[in-house]
Homo-oligomer: A and B are copies of this chain.
Amino acid sequence: MSLLHAIKFNDAGLVPAIAQDAESGRVLMMAWMNEEAFRQTIATGFAHYYSRSRQQQWKKGESSGHVQQVTEIYLDCDGDTVLMKIKQTGPACHTNRESCFYKQQQDDAWVTIEEPMT
């Protein structure tokens, strides 16, 4: 797959991938992909990542059902970051919030700005 040639995976064989809601533009999460996760994302049209803690590739939403249908994929100038526009089913965050970025800096504290979805 020649798409892979342009991607600069790091020493661990991973590249950061940002998932952005295609409709709202909200940044939902950032996770890591290895070559296989990237391949599977392209092949299936659903976001796959690589879990550094579990040391395995996973399809986002495989157990929760909170899948990410990929509508567009971008690579940055240096080839070392991937950006995906996605249609998110359910919450993106494992805390059941819409986005993983729910802690906002206010003065010298991180303040939770969003409740879990019910």
Taking Cβ atoms with an 8 Å cutoff, the residues of A that contact B are 1-3, 6, 16, 18, 20, 24-27, 29-30, 42, 72-78, 81, 83, 93-95, 97, 100-105, 108-110
Contacts and interface: CB of A to CB of B under 8 A. Distances in A.
A27 B83 contact: yes
A25 B3 CA distance: 26
A103 B75 contact: yes
- If over half of A's interface residues share one DSSP class (helix, strand or loop), that class is named, otherwise mixed; here it is mixed
A91 B61 CA distance: 35
Given A2-B108, A105-B3, A105-B42, A30 B76 contact: yes
A103 B16 CA distance: 16
A100 B76 contact: yes
